[in-house]
Amino acid sequence: MAIIFGRPKYPSSAEGGSSYSITLPVERMRLIAYFFFVTLCGFALILFNTLVLPRIEAGAPDGTPTEEMGCGPFNRDVENGSNGMKDFGLHFGEGFNLENSHLTELFGFVNVCVLWDYTPAREIVAMYFPLFEYSLAGYVMLDLIYITLSHKRGEIPDWYFSLVKIVSPFTILLIAWFRMIFVMIAYSNPEEHTLAFLGMQLALVSVVIMNSLFIILSGQSYPSIGLTKGTTTKLAYAYLICNICVSSIKIGATAFIVQNTVAPNWYKIPSFIPGYCMGMVLDRVWMLFNAVLPIVIAYVRMSNEEPMTITFSVPTPTYDGDHKSSETTGLIS
């Protein structure tokens, strides 16, 4: 049986046409991504303090069989230690807190990741995480389109455009793989768990390099905040060089953890800041360059650069009398 779809009987839009356009500052998408990351951390903090901390401090539930006392996050033994890591004097099934958590055991300090390492925060945060993942991956894709248009206008050299086309797909893939932090549990598979974080570090530093080079090569300036082309270029170079230096050390240390399970020895050396070990100082500086300053940079660029217009369109169908032509005829058997 064949059904011929007739002309729609609904009134057409006042605007008419078969296209739809969106005007979007590309850097707004990066701001959206960081908004979701910040709110994710805040949400995880609430979950950790209300649902996780009482659970891990209490230890294995009453009635847990002896042979199961070492399961899950309570699988640490004072006699044997854990993979040669720091001994906190914990026995199978005993509770713990941040001061003797698995991250403290691995790195000598805790970072934001501890907020979603344990049940039930891990499972709940994993459902919120795609908002950050998809928006950041979407930003990389939109930025690639924006750079493509800039290349067509002759604003950037061929070698940079070729580099971006190669790097962007891998950056998106690494962003997507970051979700493995919820699959590879920190206290069961610390190497694989850290490997996912290593991928995100590589993705973030690639975004920094590509963005900084674009600002430099395209000769950006932001007179609304007093930044001339020369000043903008100098700041971009300074940020790029400093971030590469910090990220190289951070990435090297993370790769060491992936290979050896524990952090390098210098991570746990006391720093010049009271209460901070060297690894903790590095972690905070890395966060400054890759989670705080990018928000400022994205806001400045969003407020000063021309937005990109994306147009979606379909061919207008043709009709034969009261019915569509055969090209748009649908068949149902």
Q: Write the pLDDT tens digit of every residue in 72-104.
A: 788 776 554 444 445 577 777 788 888 888 888
Please report which confidence band the pLDDT of residue 318 belongs to, taking 50, 70 and 90 as the band edges. low
For residue 332, pLDDT over 60 is answered with no
Grouping H, G, I as helix, E, B as strand and the rest as coil, residue 222 is strand
pLDDT of residue 63: 72
Query: Which pair of tokens denotes residue 105?
Result: 């055991």
Of all residues in the chain, what percent carry a pLDDT higher than 90? 52
pLDDT per residue as tens digits for the range 193-246: 999 999 999 999 999 999 999 999 998 888 888 889 999 999 999 999 999 999
Give the CA distances from residue 81 to residues 26, 55, 85, in Å, rounded to whole numbers and listed in that order: 50, 22, 6
Token pair listed for 212: 């900084």
Distance from C-alpha of 266 to C-alpha of 288, rounded to nearest angstrom = 21
Q: Which of 128, 133, 136 is nearest to 26 (CA)?
A: 136
Does residue 109 carry a pLDDT above 90? Answer: no
Report pLDDT for 12: 55
Query: What average pLDDT does the segment 308-317 reach?
Result: 79
Report if pTM > 0.75.
yes
Contacts of 200 (CB under 8 A, 6+ apart): 174, 175, 178
Reported as a single tens digit per residue, the pLDDT across 181-207 is: 999 988 888 889 999 999 999 999 999
Identify whether the C-beta of residue 95 lies closer than 8 Å to the C-beta of residue 53.
no
215-222 CB contacts, 8 Å cutoff, 24+ apart: 215/301, 216/240, 217/155, 217/156, 217/157, 217/160, 218/150, 218/155, 218/156, 219/155, 220/301, 220/305, 222/300, 222/301, 222/304
Helix (H, G, I), strand (E, B) or coil at 91: coil
pLDDT in tens, 16-38: 557 888 888 899 999 999 999 99
- Please give the pLDDT value at position 321: 54
Residue 326 has pLDDT above 50, yes or no: no
The mean pLDDT of 287-303, rounded to a whole number, is 92
**Nearest-angstrom CA–CA distance, 31 and 37:** 10
More confident residue, 49 or 79: 49
3-class secondary structure, 303: helix
Residue 296, SS3? helix
> Which pLDDT band holds residue 327 (cuts at 50, 70, 90)?
very low
**CA pair distance 256, 235, nearest whole angstrom:** 31
Q: Tell me the residue ranges of DSSP E strands in the chain.
A: 19-24, 308-313, 319-320, 323-324
Three-state secondary structure along 14-42?
A: CCCCCEEEEEECHHHHHHHHHHHHHHHHH
